[in-house]
Amino acid sequence: MRTAYHEKLAELSEQIGQMCGLAAAAIDNATQALLRADLSLAERVISDHSQMVEMSVAAERSAVTLLALQQPVAGELRTIFGSSQIVADVDRMGALAVHVAKIARLRHPRHAVPAEVDGCFAEMGRVAVELATRAQEVLRSGDPDKAAGLRGDDDVMDDLYRDLLTVVMDRNWAHGVPAAVDAAFLGRFYERFADHAVEIGRRVVFEVTGALPVEQEVSTY
């Protein structure tokens, strides 16, 4: 009985790991759709999101069922509780990838962002995929050191975001207000995506050690 319970717990973790994989694929495709003004790829990111939503609802139900199934011990309680919060984070990562895809779709057939900031978005996309993949690994391994390592990637993302805003807000920006607002929002979506990946690492550390690391600093934007 106890073993069946642990199997179900492991299943839930695996399910959430798969959601992380979906989030990584979604932000990767969304970035390509953005950089190539690829409408069909943008549409795919948007329609694929329904799978993430279904998995998220299923994972949340599994967590409640697990709690009801048997009196869990303290460590398991933390795991189940944390799982539900991690589901919310991954779900949000998927939604942010959809936000990126929707801007690509909205501006099609034009490119949503001027070529001047393409390099920045390509790099933000790369770091976002890296973060989601790392979060997936951390979920599987439960390794607190790897979880803490997510912060390094997040710092890179923060720097990219800051650089982007500097370019956009500069008086030499020659692409007008709508492109500036698009670029600023897009940058924020990547930055938030990264924050949620870090939050997953924070949750894993909490599950493993019982200590919740200090929350990240609230950024101005």
The contact set with a second copy (CB under 8 A) reads 49, 53, 57, 60, 63-64, 67-68, 71-72, 74, 77-78, 81, 84-85, 88, 95, 98-99, 102-103, 106, 165, 168-169, 173, 177-178, 180-181, 184-185, 188, 212, 215, 218, 220-221
Number of Cβ atoms within 10 Å of the Cβ of 212: 11
Beta carbon nearer to a second copy, 93 or 133: 93
Give the shortest CB-89-to-a second copy separation in angstroms: 9
Question: Shortest Cβ distance from residue 74 to a second copy (Å)?
Answer: 6
Which of 47/141 has CB closer to a second copy? Answer: 47
| Cβ distance to a second copy smaller for residue 68 or 115 | 68
CB of residue 42 to a second copy, shortest distance in Å: 12
Give the burial class of 160: count Cβ atoms within 10 A of its Cβ; 0-12 exposed, 13-18 middle, 19 or more buried: buried
Q: Report the C-alpha gap between 185 and 100 in whole angstroms.
A: 9
Q: Rounded distance, CA 34 to CA 186, Å?
A: 10
**Separation between Cα atoms, residue 168 and residue 185, nearest integer Å:** 11
Is residue 148 within 8 Å of 205, Cβ to Cβ? yes
Least distance CB 122 / a second copy (angstroms):
22
Q: Which two tokens stand for residue 128?
A: 């976002």
Q: Which is nearer to a second copy, 102 or 134 (CB)?
A: 102
